[in-house]
Amino acid sequence: MTSNDTAFARACQVIPGGVDSPVRAFGSVGGTPRFIDHAEGAYVYDVDDRQYLDLVGSWGPALLGHAHPQVVTAVRAAAGKGLSFGAPTEAEAELAELIQLRVPLAERVRLVSTGTEATMTAIRLARGATGRDLLVKFAGCYHGHSDGLLVAAGSGIATAGLPGSAGIPEPIAAQTVVVPYNDAEAITAVFAELGDRIAAVITEPAAANMGIVPPEPGFNALLRELTRAHGALLIYDEVLVGFRVSAAGWWGLEGRTISPDLFTFGKVVGGGMPLAALGGRADVMELLAPVGPVYQAGTLSGNPLATAAGIATLKLADAAVYERIDAASAALQGAVVDALNGAGVTHQLQTAGSLFSVFFNVDHPVRNFADAQTQNTAAYRAFFHSLLDSGIALPPSAFEAWFLSSAHDDRVLEQAVAALPAAARAAAQQG
Ligand SMILES: Cc1ncc(COP(=O)(O)O)c(C=O)c1O
C-alpha cells in the first residue's frame, strides 16, 4: 500500500468520499485521487513524492504556476501582519482597483471568498434591482453550488451524470429557467414568454464546465439585446475565464463589445487563495448593504492573505504571461491533435483562448451540453490513466478544461508530447 492509498483510506473515514470537493474524486475515471504534498511551477508532488506535470492548475487559479515566489512572499508578508481583522484594509481597495483597471465596467467591486458567493450575490442583486424572481441559466454551465444554480449544471454535476442536486426545494428550482447553450431560438422564445418575470440571465460567456464550448458568433450579443429589451440584467460569470484567457478575461478577448451589468470573478483573482469578487454597474452594486437593501456579508471577505495573493498575481500577470500561456496551449493542442490523429481517434478539440478540452469520439463541433454528453468518456478514462502513469495529471473528468500556466514552457511540455501517442493508442482501444 502506498502512502497515497493510506492517505485516501484515512480521509474516507472522516470526509465523505475522502475529498472536500467532488471534482477531486476519481469517480468518473476510476482509481485513487492523488493526495498532494506540495507543488511548484508546472508540477505537483503527491505524498509518495511522485511528480506530475499539472494540467489542472487548481482548477484555474494557478495562472503563474504553483507557489510563484513573489506571490508566496506577498502572502508571507501579509501573514506576518495578522491573519484576519474583520475590518477594512487598504489592500482591498487596491485589488478592487486592479480589477477595475482590467474591466472598467466593474465600476464597483465587492470581494468575497468563493465563486459560489459571487454568483449567489450577483443573482440576489439582480432580483433586488428588478423586483423579479426568475433566473435564466444555460444547461451545462456551472456557477457554483448555491440552490438555484444546481439545475442542469456542468462541472462535477455533469461528471457524475446527475440532473441536479438533492436537497433543493422544488419551488426554488422552479425559479431557474434552463435553456440550451448557443440556442438563439430557445432564448428568444423564453424572453417572448417570460420576459417581464426574468431578473437576470447568468452565463459563462465562454462555457468551460461541460468541456470547452465557446459561444457562437452573436450569441452573447443576443443575450445583451434580449436582457436590455426586457429590463433584465446580464451577468457574465467569469469565475473561470476571468483574468485567465486574457488580461480582461473573456470580455476582453471578445473585444469589449458587450456590456454586461454584472461580472463575477474567482480563481485567478485570488492567486490560489480563497477569494472571489463581483463587480459591475455602480447603480446596481450600490444596492448592496451597507449602502442599499440587498444583504451580503462575510467574516473572511477580503481576507488580507487572499487579497495579497490576488494583488501580487494580477500585478505579475502582464502581457508576456498571457502570450506565454497562449503559446504553450497552442503547442500542447497541436501535440494532442497529432497524437489522436496518429492513433485514428475521432475527436473535437475546442478552445476558449488558452483553455481547451477534447471530446472523444465526437465528429462535429460541440455546441451545447447535449452534444457534450455524446462524448465517449471511456476513451477519456483510458487516455487520462495512460498520461497519469506517465506523470501527467489531467482533470479527472472529460467535462473539464485543461489549464496551463506561464510555468509550462517548451521543456516542461516535452514530457507531455512524448507521452501523448501512447495515451492516444489507449483511447483508441475504447473505440
Ligand atoms: C464559471 C464558474 N462559476 C462559479 C464557480 C464557483 O466557484 P467556487 O468553486 O469558487 O465556489 C466556478 C467553479 O468552478 C465556475 O467555474
- Rounded to the nearest angstrom, the distance between the alpha carbon of 150 and the centre of ligand 1 is 12
Task: Kindly state the helix (H) or strand (E) to which residue 421 belongs, with its residue range.
Answer: helix 410-428
Residue 203's nearest CA partner among 163, 247, 245, 261 is: 261
Burial 342-365 (b: 16+ CB within 10 A, else e): ebebebbbbbbbbbbbbbbbbeee
Active site residue 283: no
Cell 493508442 sits on residue: 425
* pLDDT of 378: 96
Residue 121's nearest CA partner among 153, 143, 151, 150 is: 143
The minimum-distance atom of ligand 1 relative to the CA of 21 is 9
The cell numbers describing 388, all together, are 497519469
pLDDT digits (tens, 9 = 90+) for 51-63: 999 999 999 999 9
**282/337 same-domain check:** no
**303/371 same-domain check:** no
Q: Which of 316, 349, 366 is the last residue of a domain?
A: 316
* pLDDT of 148: 87
Domain span at residue 111 reads: 69-316
**129/218 same-domain check:** yes
Q: Strand pairing of 276-280 and 347-352?
A: unpaired
By most ligand atoms within 8 Å of CB, the mutation choice from 239, 263, 355 for ligand 1 is 239
- Rounded to the nearest angstrom, the distance between the alpha carbon of 340 and the centre of ligand 1 is 30
Q: Give me the torsion for CA of 314, 315, 319, 323, rounded to 10°.
A: -60
Positions in the chain short of pLDDT 70:
none
Query: Residue 168: which CATH number?
Result: 3.40.640.10
**149/159 same-domain check:** yes
* C-alpha distances in Å from residue 122, one per residue of 70, 115, 325: 32, 10, 30
* pLDDT of 161: 73
Q: Strand pairing of 134-138 and 108-112?
A: unpaired
Query: Residue 377: which CATH number?
Result: 3.90.1150.10
pLDDT digits (tens, 9 = 90+) for 164-196: 788 988 889 889 999 999 999 999 999 999 999
**356/398 same-domain check:** yes
The cell numbers describing 266, all together, are 474567482
Q: Which of 264, 291, 316 is the last residue of a domain?
A: 316
pLDDT digits (tens, 9 = 90+) for 298-324: 999 999 999 999 999 999 999 999 999
Residue type, 266: G
Residue 187's nearest CA partner among 239, 227, 231, 141 is: 227
Q: Considering 43, 52, 142, 236, which one is annotated as catalytic?
A: 142
* pLDDT of 170: 86
**42/134 same-domain check:** no
**77/53 same-domain check:** no
User: How many Å is the Cα radius of gyration of the chain?
Assistant: 21
* pLDDT of 152: 78
Active site residue 295: no
Residue type, 396: P
Q: Which residue is closest in CA terms to ligand 1's atom 16?
A: 240
Q: Is 373 helix (H, G, I), strand (E, B) or coil?
A: coil
Q: Which of 316, 335, 352 is the last residue of a domain?
A: 316
How far apart are the C-alpha atoms of 379 and 165, rounded to whole Å?
Answer: 27
**215/268 same-domain check:** yes
How far apart are the C-alpha atoms of 395 and 407, rounded to whole Å?
Answer: 18
Structural contact between residues 316 and 405, judged by C-beta atoms closer than 8 angstroms: no
Active site residue 48: no
How far apart are the C-alpha atoms of 143 and 72, rounded to whole Å?
Answer: 28
The minimum-distance atom of ligand 1 relative to the CA of 60 is 14
- Rounded to the nearest angstrom, the distance between the alpha carbon of 308 and the centre of ligand 1 is 21
Q: Considering 43, 137, 261, 267, which one is annotated as catalytic?
A: 267
What backbone phi and psi angles, to 5 degrees, belong to 38?
A: -160, 170
The minimum-distance atom of ligand 1 relative to the CA of 237 is 1
* pLDDT of 136: 97
Burial (CB count <10 Å: 0-12, 13-18, 19+), residue 235 = buried
Cell 439545475 sits on residue: 151
- Rounded to the nearest angstrom, the distance between the alpha carbon of 37 and the centre of ligand 1 is 24
Number of compact structural domains in the chain? 2
**270/305 same-domain check:** yes
Which residues have CB under 6 Å of ligand 1? Answer: 59, 114-116, 119, 142-144, 155, 204, 209, 237, 239-240, 266, 276
- Indicate the pTM of the whole model: 0.97
**241/185 same-domain check:** yes
**30/74 same-domain check:** no
**13/141 same-domain check:** no
* pLDDT of 153: 82
How far apart are the C-alpha atoms of 323 and 328, rounded to whole Å?
Answer: 9
How far apart are the C-alpha atoms of 390 and 105, rounded to whole Å?
Answer: 44
What backbone phi and psi angles, to 5 degrees, belong to 51?
A: -95, 135
Structural contact between residues 377 and 398, judged by C-beta atoms closer than 8 angstroms: yes
Distance between alpha carbon 394 and the CA centroid of its chain, in Å?
A: 15
Q: Strand pairing of 51-54 and 392-393?
A: parallel
Angle at 268 between CA 252 and CA 159, to 5 degrees: 100
- Rounded to the nearest angstrom, the distance between the alpha carbon of 326 and the centre of ligand 1 is 22
What backbone phi and psi angles, to 5 degrees, belong to 188?
A: -65, -40
